[in-house]
A = this chain, B = another copy of it.
């Protein structure tokens, strides 16, 4: 059930954008260095995030990336799903296009996979980038002295 680096790096990059980004775009290089992710690889991931409408790009010199919406309007669920596809533990309980099987017994295990999927959905769809920023602020104390 491990998340691949796609989902993990993607969330880290988006969190970086939420924490350090603002009016002016952040370059890929900045994010990649701060989050210790290979720049060409992050390039791929952020291209996916852009197509999913989660970040906006600004081309040319001093360009970079911006969050497409406010941090409280971006759930980690939308980030993870855009990069990993469905988070369902089995194909037959995928959110979008479940490929059902015919066997009666399979349906019993199907109930199980669905319970797991719903439980994961509930968590990742209820947590936004703003929630993560709040967690971070709390972790660092009121003066935020450990901000990077």
A103 at the interface (CB under 8 A from B): yes
User: Which residues of B are found within 8 Å of A11, using beta-carbon distances?
Assistant: 109, 112
Give the CA-CA distance A122 to B123 in the complex, in Å.
12
Shortest Cβ gap from A139 to chain B (Å): 7
Q: How many identical chains are in the complex?
A: 2
Tell whether A15 pairs with B136 under 8 Å between CB atoms, given A88-B2, A115-B123, A119-B123.
no
Query: Given A108-B139, A139-B108, is A89 in contact with B1 using a C-beta cutoff of 8 Å?
Result: yes
A88 B1 Cβ-Cβ under 8 A: yes
Interface residues of A in 75-114 (CB under 8 A from B): 76, 84, 87-91, 103-109, 111-113
Q: Is the interface of A mostly helix, strand, loop or mixed?
A: helix
Q: Tell me if A61 is interfacial: C-beta within 8 Å of chain B.
A: no
Q: Which positions in A face B, CB cutoff 8 Å?
A: 1-3, 7-8, 11-12, 15-16, 19, 34-36, 76, 84, 87-91, 103-109, 111-113, 115-116, 119-120, 122-124, 127, 132, 135-136, 139-140, 146, 148
Contact yes or no, A12 B127, CB < 8 A:
no
Question: Is A105 touching B15 in the complex (CB atoms < 8 A)?
Answer: yes
Given the known inter-chain contacts A3-B1, A89-B2, A90-B3, please indicate yes or no for A132 contacting B112, CB distance below 8 A: yes
A12 contact set on B, CB distance < 8 A: 105-106, 109
